[in-house]
Every structure is written in C-alpha cells, then in structure tokens.
Amino acid sequence: MNDFVIRTAEQKDLSVLVAFNNALALETEHRGLDMQRLTQSMQAILDDKRKGVYWLACDGDKVVGQLMYVFEWSTWRNANFMWLTDLYVLPAYRRKGVFKSLFRHAMAFYHTREDIIGFRFYVDKSNTAVVPLYHKVGWKESNYNLWEMKKYED
C-alpha cells in the first residue's frame, strides 16, 4: 500500500477534475456529462472555495484520486455537516489505499474543526459496489431520503 500525498486542487488541475468527474458519471450512473457545463462547474469551484473544495490524492506528480467536500449549515445543531462527494479513484489505483488516504485526510480535517458536526454523502442507488467499503470505515445509512426538483434534465 502506498502513502499518497493529499493536496488541495489548484487551477492547474482543471482538466483532471473534468476528466475524473466525467468518468465518475459514466461509471456510476452510466451517463456522459455536458463537457462545457462540467468544465465551467469545475472552474467555478476552483474560483470560489465556498462552492466546494477538491482534495487530490497524488502518486508523485500523478493525480490518482479525488474527493470534494461542501458544507451544509444545520440550524438545529448550530454547526455544519460536511458533505463528501465526487469520490473517484483511477481504476489502476483501486484497492491500493487511495480512498484510505483521502478518507484519513478528511477525518483529520473534520477533527480540527469545531464547526463541523458530522459527515454526509449520497450514493446513486445503482452504485452498490461501494456500500461495503462505506460500512467498513464506519458509515451508517441515514434515516433521511433525498428528494429533488430540477429546472432541467441533465
């Protein structure tokens, strides 16, 4: 198992973020994304960390995995939930400790912040392959269902 370096994504990582997120959508939901919209979205995140922050797992200079976090304010708890999203690891690097490195980094960040009350994330219902991994690291299924309304179909 490698010890991967975790760093925050920078402008130079735009093409990697676009490629990883498109691959994630294809693999987990079997759909391609609008590449122009995806590129604009990744640029917006890089320009404004209030929208989200990507952590990248690196093997030397090569980016091999990613994880993004965003915050959701909980009025009942007077604190943030930290949502983890966009987890992706290059296929050749799976089962080699990339997720573990990203998760350890997230946990260390979580434990240093008094304003974060917990973690949350969502998984597409068809993406059952990752469920055992999430159970293994201590996640529990929430009692909340996710509902949505969209302005357009994507």
Residue 106 vs residue 142, higher pLDDT: 106
User: CB count, 10 Å around CB of 59?
Assistant: 17
Confidence of residue 1 (pLDDT cuts 50, 70, 90): low
- Rounded distance, CA 95 to CA 81, Å? 28
What is the rounded distance in angstroms from the CA atom of residue 21 to the CA atom of residue 35?
10
Segment 64-118, tens digit of pLDDT: 999 999 999 999 999 999 999 999 999 999 999 999 999 999 999 999 999 999 9
Give the residue-averaged pLDDT of 15-29. Answer: 95
What's the whole-number average pLDDT of the chain? 91
Q: Which of 61, 5, 14, 4 is nearest to 41 (CA)?
A: 14
- DSSP 8-class letter at 85: E
Per-residue confidence (pLDDT) for residue 104, from 0 to 100: 93
> Can you give the residue ranges of every domain in the chain?
5-136
- In the predicted structure, residue 154 carries a pLDDT above the cut 70: no
| Predicted structure pTM score | 0.86
Question: In the CATH hierarchy, which fold is given to the domain comprising 5-136?
Answer: Aminopeptidase (3.40.630)
| Residues 124-130, mean pLDDT to the nearest whole number | 76
